[in-house]
Amino acid sequence: MRILILGGTVFLGRAVARQALAAGHEVLCAARGESGAPVGGARFVRVDRDEPDGLSAVEGEFDAVVDVARHPHHVRHAVTALAGRAGHYTLVSTGSVYADVATPHQTAATAPLLPPDHDADPAADPESYGRAKVACERLAAGGFGAGRTLLLRAGLIVGPEDPTGRFDYWVRRYERGGEVLAPGGPDESVQLVDVRDLADWILTAAGRGLAGPFDGVGAPMTRAEFHAGLAAGTGTAPPLTWVTQEFLLERGVVPWAGPRSLPLWLPLPRYAGFMSRDAGPSLAAGLRIRPLAETVRDTRNAFRDATHIDESLGLGIDEETALLREWHAR
């Protein structure tokens, strides 16, 4: 296939480009060149999608377009520039489009969405991200045709080159060893997707002309299984201490991401629907998920080679030790 990646210089876009090239496809990446570089072997064209005619340097026809846009006007400009020249279009969307994050086991085809915000600027207002992506979905399906547009609502994407560091926190934590503070309970749900599995599916889905909304995420696992995967992938077995969300929230530990956080942990029942989506339709439509231990091992190998590791995310060693001491003494 002749594939255009709108983006292609960061994490998922780079994975799509790398795997497309390995599969023998022809790849053109289009971006400003500010966030990163395309993988070797991909052609690159400099574009600025903030400009209405910003994609004018993209020439030719494409069997598949993969777009990681977050801004509605970027999709609007893509429709103007590329409709009629794209056989299949994948908008990489997000689970943040859903209106209800509390109800578990929801399915992409029927779950209610946030209202679209066509003027949203998620770079300036991160709270508008979900509404912006709903608008991107509407513009994409309207402009390229619902019958050839895949709305791929990615869940938590993890694996090598993840710029967020959320999953890396846990891999590093296991490598460090010693008693590990495990937030929440062993039966709570965790759901994620390896960036390479998502990239593979984007390519096979484009080849098959898959259209409509799908969740880009594997089946839910329990927190106990998540920790077992970390242990298997790092070849370590540190002792786990499960600490309740009430204890953590009372002491100002931050859910999900950021400084003084426990990444990938979300308070329940408020977020019970966020990492427990029905992956059945996506798995039936060709999504293949590798074992978690493999994702852990490859993530560890990738950040071992990294020149810079952001240590500000997650709990520091002293913070974790103090919380564990207090938990045991209560």
Ligand X SMILES: NC(=O)c1ccc[n+]([C@@H]2O[C@H](COP(=O)([O-])OP(=O)(O)OC[C@H]3O[C@@H](n4cnc5c(N)ncnc54)[C@H](OP(=O)(O)O)[C@@H]3O)[C@@H](O)[C@H]2O)c1
Cβ-based nearer residue to ligand X, 32 or 208:
32
CB of 12 to ligand X, least distance (A): 3
Q: Does 18 bind ligand X (CB under 6 A)?
A: no
| Contacts (CB under 6 A) with ligand X, residues 42-61 | 47-50
| Amino acid sitting at position 53 | D
| Contacts (CB under 6 A) with ligand X, residues 78-137 | 92, 94
Cβ-based nearer residue to ligand X, 12 or 289:
12
How far is residue 6's CA from residue 48's CA, in Å, rounded to a whole number?
10
Compute the chain's Rg from CA coordinates: 20
Report the 10 Å Cβ neighbour count for 307. 4
CB of 23 to ligand X, least distance (A): 18
CB of 256 to ligand X, least distance (A): 11
Helix (H) or strand (E) holding 99: none
CB of 29 to ligand X, least distance (A): 7
CB of 49 to ligand X, least distance (A): 4
Q: Does 32 bind ligand X (CB under 6 A)?
A: yes
Site size with ligand X, rule: CB under 6 A: 24
The pair phi, psi for residue 229, each rounded to 5°, is -65, -40
Cβ-based nearer residue to ligand X, 67 or 320:
67
Return the axis-axis angle of helices 11-22 and 195-208, rounded to nearest 10°: 60
Burial 253-283 (b: 16+ CB within 10 A, else e): bbbebeeebbbbbbebeebbbbbbbbbebbb
CB of 330 to ligand X, least distance (A): 34
Q: Does 33 bind ligand X (CB under 6 A)?
A: yes
Omega of the bond leading into 213 within 30 degrees of 0 (cis): no
The phi-psi region of residue 75 (left if phi > 0; otherwise alpha if psi is between -120 and 50; otherwise beta) is alpha
CB of 71 to ligand X, least distance (A): 8
Of 28-36, 81-89, 220-228, 278-286: span binding ligand X (CB under 6 A): 28-36
Half-sphere exposure of 74 (CA within 13 A, CB side): 24
DSSP classification of residue 35: S
| Contacts (CB under 6 A) with ligand X, residues 148-177 | 154, 156-157, 164
Q: Which residues bind ligand X (CB under 6 A)?
A: 7-13, 31-35, 47-50, 68, 70, 92, 94, 154, 156-157, 164
